[in-house]
Structure 1
């Protein structure tokens, strides 16, 4: 801040000092001789100069205080700007962290929901397997009455032991055949489910031979795929053995 001291003193002291000098001069002119008036005027000039000097020093002191205050305000303004910048950075970092936490929580919710869906699916598959096991057990129990029946026939026909033996053997073979057919049917159903073979009409439950052919084809394809996957890589023309 620049101040013109001359203009300031002119505006501040000009009128008052001029009036005082005029009054002092007119009063002195009436009372003093010319030499005395000169001395008086010098003294008055010295007093006026001293007063102006004191007021100028006071003004300069006030001006220095204002400059110091201005510098302090500028420094505080810089500190405030720095604080605001740090606070703004702090808010931005918190926003980034909040967004990251929101995304992480969203991913965790999605994973939890997917695991719940997988759990429900596994529970349903387990129930289906238990139901299938119970059904097979009932079929086995139903077929188990035939050996008991044949045993009673053998006991009642001891004279026809050979025939009974043949019947018993036939019954066992029949039971074994039934078990084989049931196992073949179950294995065929598993193969169809795994292979998702919907391009052809399903084989009848009593056509065990056709079911075995389907199973054999599926196993052959599976073995071929397994051998292809586990086949060692062939070295190139410049490769090492």
Structure 2
């Protein structure tokens, strides 16, 4: 086989080098063609030998037929001469021999008839081969064509044997591959067990991470809700402070950001109203503002007490 030079290398070679490579490829192609011519010549020699052998066999068959016809003629002439030359007494004595010869003659005639019938039955094959030969147009005669198809049949048989051998090698390769896979599987079994353990540990760690992430999300949501609640409380205290100061006409001298002072002012106003109600109606039970935990927490904040947690507020 010719060695093909890559395209990239052809682009970098000198013209003389490319010419040498082309010449080398031409020489290799010529050698391949020469080997094919030699193989074709050998095949043609075998076909010629086969054709010669078939011609010899055909000639022998014709010789046998001619000898057989001559034998029949000689036998018939002999029988006729024997019948003409002998008399009645010799004919009676030679009756058994004549009967034997007659039977032999009948057997030969029957054999000749069988051969003729066989020849007539094979005539259709001869005509078919003649038609195939005329249609193909690449063979000189029927023996050459039969020799060609015989060679093709031998090549087909050789290819079938090669394919069978390849199938056997392939089966052996598959068997070896199965054995190697079994050995590799037995060797990888501890590794698979260790890998399963690592997967289990990874899954446990992943569950721990998910739990911690859910806990962190809960903490973040809780931390986000507390400022919202504190803002709502401050807004409610501011509204109550503004409503109380506007209703009682108290000068709003507390800053808007001081929620505790606003709540103290509201509580003081409510306490003053309660005292006024008690003075106006001392004998009658009147509404008394209950003790609010908000006031207590505000009083404790004013006097330096402990601060109530935001959830309790």
TM-score normalised to structure 2 length: 0.26
* Greater Rg over alpha carbons, structure: 2
